[in-house]
Amino acid sequence: MKRNTITKILCISLAAVMLMSMAACGKKKKDAKPSEETDAAPTPIPVETTAATTSSIPVWSGPLESNTISVTWSETEFDSPTTKYAGVTAGEFLRIRSGPSVDYEIVGTLSRNQPVVVVAVTSDGWYKTSDGFYISGTYLTDTQSA
């Protein structure tokens, strides 16, 4: 047989099989008996739940309490308070610390573009807030991010 004839026979056979399959979909068997247990309650499936994860960084709202850490580093105060913005990626938080280093306690967080008033800067680039806490200058910007 020629190749063209074989291809036609295969296509017709496949089409016939597909039509028979589609025709058989959704039909009920004539001799199928209704189940006597249709009113029975379904067997419950045990479900294991887990506790929701919580953030390890506490979230504060409103002003922070006064900082009680003694200043043992050099700071340069600004002539007037300046507004800076948290320059972090969306969904991340900028940590506010009790002193100008990652060694100090985290006392709060800022979200992206959140404004903060700063009054001084340390020689290491940490900004002092009007509340007396510190934020790394690496993550502060002069304008809000787009």
pLDDT by residue (tens digit) across 20-79? 777 777 666 666 565 555 556 677 777 676 665 555 545 555 566 677 777 788 889 999
* Sign of the CA dihedral with 51 first, then 92, 115, and 133 last: positive
Question: What pLDDT, on the 0 to 100 scale, is given for residue 71?
Answer: 78
Question: What pLDDT, on the 0 to 100 scale, is given for residue 61?
Answer: 54
Report field, pTM of the whole predicted structure over 0.85: no
Q: Identify each DSSP E strand in the chain by its residue range.
A: 75-86, 93-97, 106-111, 115-122, 126-129, 134-136, 140-141
Average pLDDT over residues 5-24: 82
The domains found in the chain, sorted by start residue, are 75-141 (2.30.30.40)
Question: What pLDDT, on the 0 to 100 scale, is given for residue 84?
Answer: 92
Whether 84 contacts 141, CB under 8 Å: yes
Question: What pLDDT, on the 0 to 100 scale, is given for residue 60?
Answer: 52
